Structure 1
Amino acid sequence: MEIRSDDGARVRIRPVGYQPGIDPPDDPDGATPGWHDWLLIEVDARTPDGQTWSHHYPSLMVEEARALGGWLHGQASAALGPDSPPATVRFTEPNLALRTRVIRRRRLELTVEFSAESLPPWMRRPVTAVYPLVLTVSADHLAVAAEQWAAHCEAYPPRIQSRFPAEGPLPYRRRAG
């Protein structure tokens, strides 16, 4: 998806694959949920004054990526009303976070917060560093970006499905003999 601001700033974010090289844990039943579902996220950003940077990092789990599309669409819909409260979405990996604030009807401020490996290369990198890229966009533009994001995510279903069919585990059967 691409989101362009009125002042020339922009951000392009898209999933480009599953995180390679993730070995299964010794005990998959005791593993942290989502260990197998990290997506590589490609980000290309430009500030209002024309500075650019990009990175490619496993920043979102599949479930988080899919939820982001819904969140963006919800924020676009909320901007249709005059009194929507600010909202923030954060993820397991702290590289990206997004905040919105309605500035007037059908217009909102979307702040994409970059941290850790996602920081622009010109920034110092203390653990707590955050670079906020502020984008002023229309609700319609954000709704289009949400649809683009959802379409990107369709290509990345969870890699490991449940061990059981949708109706639950199979009943235990005693073997004859």
Structure 2
Amino acid sequence: MEIRSDDGARVRIRPVGYQPGIDPPDDPDRVTPGWQDWLLVEVDARTADGQTWSHHYPSLMVEEARALGSWLYGQARAAAEPAPPPAAVRFTEPNLALRSRVIRRRRLELIVEFSAESLPPWMRRPTTAIYPLILTVSADALTVAAAQWDGHCEAYPPRAPSRFPARGPLTRPRHAD
């Protein structure tokens, strides 16, 4: 997915495969012991003043990746409400987190927080360092990004039933053979 800010900053995030060296199950209903559902996530970011960096790292579990899509859709919907509270989503691996707040009707400030291996190369790396990339976006642009993210995630089935609730039209019923 790609999210572009009004000021020229942007972030592209997409899963590019399962964690290397660990094969996913052929059948998600028959999980083999030892398979972990970590996704390699590729990130390409640019600040408003033109500094760029990229990396890929096993940053999200499959179910977390799918939950991110729901969270993005939820933030886009919340931007239509009169005074929604700020929201955040964090993951097992602390490399990536997102926060949002509505700045006016149908406009959001989305803060993508990078830490650990995801920090820009020009930053020193104390264990507590966080680099916030601030993006000002429309609710419509965030909805498009959420749909792009869901499309990326379709290629990576979860290994076990999700701990997160399923959502609307992308949920497919299971058929017994």
TM-score tier, shorter chain, comes to: 0.7 to 0.9
> Within 2, Cα distance between the matches of 1:99 and 1:120?
18
- Matched pairs, number: 156
The offset of 1:20, in angstroms, is: 1.1
Please, what TM-score do these two structures have when normalized by structure 2? 0.83
Aligned residue number for residue 105 of structure 1: 105
Equivalent residue, structure 1, for 2:154: 154
Q: Distance in 1 between matches of 2:139 and 2:91?
A: 23
**Distance (Å, rounded) in 2 between the aligned partners of 1:84 and 1:155:** 33
Partner residue in 2 for 1:96 = 96
Task: Kindly report the root-mean-square deviation, in angstroms, between the aligned alpha carbons of the 2 structures.
Answer: 2.0
Tell me if structure 2 keeps the 8 A contact 1:13–1:44.
Answer: yes
Specify the code of the residue in structure 2 equivalent to 1:69: G
Identity rate, percent:
83
Structure 1 residue 82, shift from structure 2 partner: 2.1
Pair member with larger Rg:
1
Secondary structure of the residue aligned to 1:69 is: helix
1:161 CA drift (Å): 5.0
Which residue does 1:44 correspond to in 2? 44
Distance in 1 (alpha carbons) for counterparts of 2:4 and 2:148: 14
Is 1:6–2:6 an aligned residue pair? yes
Deviation at 1:21, TM superposition (A): 1.6
| SS of match in other structure, 1:134 | strand
- TM superposition shift of 1:15: 0.3
Structure 1 residue matching 2:88: 3-state secondary structure: strand
1: CA distance between counterparts of 2:121 and 2:82?
A: 38
Match of 1:21, SS state, is coil
Distance 1:137 1:105 in 2: 11
Query: Is the 1:53–1:120 Cα contact (8 Å) retained in structure 2?
Result: yes
Quote the residue 1:173 is aligned against: none
Deviations 1:64-121 (A, max 9, x none): 0000000000000000112010000000000000000000000000000000000000
Gaps of 5+ in 1: 167-177
2:135 match = 135
- After TM superposition, which residue ranges in structure 1, 4 or more long, deviate above 4 angstroms? none
User: What's the counterpart of residue 67 of structure 2?
Assistant: 67
